[in-house]
Structure 1
Amino acid sequence: MAPVHDPYLTSPVSEVRGHGLRLRPWDADSDTDVETWLRGALDPEFRRWNTPVRPVTDAESAREALRARAGEAYEGRGVAFRITAAGSDTTLGHIGIGAVNHALRVARVGYWVLPEARGRGVATWALRVAAEWSFSELGLHRLELDHAVGHEVSCRVAERCGFRYEGTLRGAVFEAGRHDAFRDAHLHARLCTDA
């Protein structure tokens, strides 16, 4: 069982490789990373399905979001990766492992892909890489993900990666663009013992 200051999260993770991708930590001090995070957060398709607790509307709020993720890594509560192709430094999207509960060896995973990289299997391959890494390096037993009901693309990504549908979480996520209304989400999960 990992301690609160899990060395896999608190020491710098330079990159995770697999399936033709590299998962690399975001850098809040990089203007390029900040601009890319902002572009992802403002993408209409992202906003249709996701409403961050803390809105990202400009470069400063994007930088703060990346700093918050770095803080979560330092505290052993999560890790955020930008997705790149194996031979490139161009960001294709994001995958993050958060809400790490070391006692239960469970965490949550979330992802998004930039518009120009959609339809190429980026989310599927990134989820496979992140899941394999979470089980082998973080010692997790269970990895969960949820998505708003109706987000069929995310549902298919989860199922292709062995994340079984476990049910509907009522009123579990914000409505698009609102913090005062909720919608249902589908819960998927994969265990380290699953095929």
Structure 2
Amino acid sequence: MTYVLSTPAAIPAGTLVAAPQPVLPAGGDLVLRPWDTADVPAFLAAYRDPAIQRWHTHHPATEDHVREWFDGYRRDWALEKAAHWAVTRDGGEVLGRLAMRGINLDDGNAGCAYWVVPAARGAGVATRALTAVSTWAMDRIGFHRLALDHSTRNEASCRVATKAGYVLEGTQRSAAVHADGRHDMHLHARVRSSS
């Protein structure tokens, strides 16, 4: 399909893939980097955690599934559709996941998602990772709006979003299906200052 934009794209096509997916420092020993084949066991183990299963409806069942997901992550970057990072301690131990999905370069928008392994919870890992990606996306790449949603029952995720500067914009009624049924979802967003 061919179309013509009535306004210039907020972010020109090719901006993301002009360089490899970046490694991002997130303060202290926290480093976000692209997923690597060596992370497959840690990724699969994380999805066996009951809290991650509760809030994330798609779960890999085997290491082969994880490898397929990682292949998809690399394709997403190459197509400028999404970016997926391992949240790590000094680039090694996996502490969590941070993703920008649904990238819309024309409008300069994307959605964010995250999880943290049980041993890393309560230490600000998710907040620092989300802040690092948000700062890179807005200040370096030029995204205008980043949004995220989470179940209204997921108070920890709500705290992370708020601490990372994502304003609660409202509640999407009955917007997502979880293992225990439909959930209302909070919608948060961070918008780049125009000043």
Contact 1:42 / 1:57 at 8 angstroms: preserved in 2?
no
For 2:176 and 2:56, the matched residues in 1 are separated by 8
1:46 aligns with 2:52: yes
For 1:194 and 1:176, the matched residues in 2 are separated by 41
Q: Deviations over 1:28-85 (max 9, x none)?
A: xx1x311111112221110111102xx4111111111121111111100111011113
1:67 aligns with 2:71: yes
Q: Deviations over 1:128-155 (max 9, x none)?
A: 1111011022210000010011100000
Q: CA deviation at 1:176?
A: 2.2
CA-atom RMSD in angstroms: 1.9
Q: CA deviation at 1:169?
A: 1.2
1:115 aligns with 2:124: no
The alignment partner of 1:23 has SS state of strand
Contact 1:4 / 1:75 at 8 angstroms: preserved in 2?
no
Structure with max Cα Rg: 2
Contact 2:171 / 2:184 at 8 angstroms: preserved in 1?
yes
Length-normalised TM-score, structure 2: 0.87
Residue 33 of structure 2 corresponds to 24
Q: Which runs of 5+ in 2 are unaligned?
A: 1-9
The alpha-carbon distance between structure 1 residues 167 and 18, as it changes in their structure 2 partners (threshold 3 A), is same
For 1:3 and 1:194, the matched residues in 2 are separated by 19
**Range 164-173 or range 109-118, more displaced:** 164-173
The alignment partner of 2:47 has SS state of helix
Residue 4 of structure 2 corresponds to none
Q: Which runs of 5+ in 1 are unaligned?
A: none
5 Å-filtered alignment, 1:39-188, equals: 39-52=45-58, 55-85=59-89, 87-176=90-179, 181-188=181-188
Length-normalised TM-score, structure 1: 0.87
